[in-house]
Amino acid sequence: MNDLRPLALTMGEPAGIGGEIAMKAWLERDSKRVPPFYLIDDPDHLEALIGRLGWPVSFKAIEAPSEALDVYASALPVLVHRLNHQPVPGTPQPDNANVVITAIDRAVEAVQAGDADAVVTNPIHKQTLVESGFGHVGHTDYLAQLAGNGARAVMMLACSELRVVPICVHMSLHDSIQALTTEAIVASTRTTADALIRDFGIAQPHIAMTGLNPHAGEGGAIGREEIDIIRPAIEQMKSEGISVRGPEPADTLFHERARTGYDAAICMYHDQALIPIKTIDFHRAVNITLGLPFVRTSPDHGTAFEIAGTGVANESSLIAALTTASAMARRRRGLAAH
């Protein structure tokens, strides 16, 4: 068994910062111990960025992921994936939407074939993709479709001090409340507990669960969701041998001392999960898709059109995504995580 395979990094939205942070990550490959990766992108796009920014980046076109390991030390390996039109930084072009999507497809195919260790995705621009006919709200559900076999993808955000999983993700607060069910909480919690064991090496994970309402409903005085929906889920999880506590008031669950008492927090809606982690470690948080038969991570930020092409984008979240993906993939293969 080969104990080293490259990571497959997608181009993301070509008018965003994906190419810039990929090159920055490669430039810091030694100082930050960035695991070997190859970028699925158009060499003409990268040449234009290098000319624009004046960076000392060398890249080499490769025809297969297996070539990346020999190239990585001296040049950024680029699996050639041609754009329909060369991008203007900050201005997404619908004509490139299909290229962005097929870059994701190629990364997944490489991992499924055993040619790459994990999929790492640069940020996409969802509006451009949807307007071009992409029938998914983002990476997570599309990756579940590519995985097949009824995979149920769950979004985790992680940094060195906190892991959070929102039950309801990209929907309004009103719709999140309507969509919250005991069954959804149980399914996401099971997936989270399994991932903590398999992907993070935590033998006996402990999970904290937030309430939905202020002060976790105060015994029904300001909401019954904790009583009718969340507590039954917790009791079911406990009956299955999963260590879960709650529902906890969200406003007391994320301070420094509280975070030492659990391995992940299950949150009821998007902002309840993302506000604390982005406050704690905005530049190094990682988006992780749990529940897939392969590892997928991503920087926890968007395309940053307002700074695209200027060279000031922070590469820390991408480096964290690459490092996290490598460690998770190695654990799945029974190897020591670096």
Residue 46 has what pLDDT?
Answer: 97
Does position 131 have pLDDT exceeding 90, yes or no? no
Residue 138 has what pLDDT?
Answer: 72
* 196 & 120 share domain: no
* 148 & 7 share domain: yes
Residue 1 has what pLDDT?
Answer: 43
18-27 vs 43-53: helix crossing angle, rounded to 10: 70
Asked, for residue 285, whether it belongs to a domain, the answer is: no
For tokens 């905005």, name the residue.
282
pLDDT digits (tens, 9 = 90+) for 51-64: 999 999 999 999 99
pLDDT digits (tens, 9 = 90+) for 261-282: 999 999 999 999 999 999 999 9
**What average pLDDT does range 224-234 have in this prediction?**
97
Does position 100 have pLDDT exceeding 80, yes or no? yes
* 141 & 5 share domain: yes
Q: Domain residues for 165?
A: 161-280
Lowest mean pLDDT of 73-77, 122-126, 149-153, name the range: 149-153
Does position 32 have pLDDT exceeding 60, yes or no? yes
* 235 & 275 share domain: yes
Does position 19 have pLDDT exceeding 90, yes or no? yes
Q: What's the half-sphere exposure (Cβ side, CA atoms, 13 Å) at 250?
A: 21
What is the CATH classification number for the domain harbouring 213? Answer: 3.40.718.10
Rounded-to-10 torsion of CA 171, 173, 178, 180: 80
Greatest pairwise CA separation for the chain in angstroms: 63
Asked, for residue 228, whether it belongs to a domain, the answer is: yes
How many distinct structural domains can be found in the chain? 2
Parallel, antiparallel, or unpaired: how do β-strands 59-62 and 76-80 relate? parallel
* 189 & 269 share domain: yes
* 31 & 120 share domain: yes
Mean of the per-residue pLDDT values of the chain: 94
Residue 286 has what pLDDT?
Answer: 97
* 11 & 144 share domain: yes
Distance CA 337, CA 334 (A): 9
Q: What percent of the chain has pLDDT over 70?
A: 98
**What average pLDDT does range 296-323 have in this prediction?**
96
**What average pLDDT does range 142-159 have in this prediction?**
87
* 138 & 248 share domain: no
Does position 331 have pLDDT exceeding 80, yes or no? yes
* 186 & 131 share domain: no
Asked, for residue 215, whether it belongs to a domain, the answer is: yes
Cα-based distances in Å from 81 to 106, 195, 298: 9, 32, 19
Residue 338 has what pLDDT?
Answer: 63
Does position 137 have pLDDT exceeding 80, yes or no? no
Residue 115 has what pLDDT?
Answer: 96
**What average pLDDT does range 236-260 have in this prediction?**
97
Asked, for residue 287, whether it belongs to a domain, the answer is: no
* 105 & 142 share domain: yes
pTM of the model: 0.93
Lowest mean pLDDT of 5-19, 82-96, 128-142, name the range: 128-142
Asked, for residue 288, whether it belongs to a domain, the answer is: no
* 105 & 182 share domain: no
Question: 3-class DSSP state for residue 39?
Answer: strand
Lowest mean pLDDT of 52-61, 73-82, 123-132, 270-279, name the range: 123-132
* 259 & 315 share domain: no
Strand runs labelled E in the chain: 7-10, 37-41, 59-62, 76-80, 119-120, 154-159, 162-166, 206-210, 243-248, 264-267, 286-290, 296-299
Confidence bin at 302 (pLDDT 50/70/90)? very high
Residue 151 has what pLDDT?
Answer: 73
Confidence bin at 148 (pLDDT 50/70/90)? confident
Show which of 256, 280, 304 is a domain's final residue: 280
Concatenated DSSP letters of 74-127: TSEEEEE---SSPPBTTB--GGGHHHHHHHHHHHHHHHHTTSSS-EE-----HH
Q: How far, rounded to the nearest angstrom, does the alpha carbon of residue 298 sit from its chain's CA centroid?
A: 4
Residue 68 has what pLDDT?
Answer: 97
Q: How is the chain split among helix, strand and coil, in percent rounded to 5?
A: 45, 15, 40
**What average pLDDT does range 108-127 have in this prediction?**
95
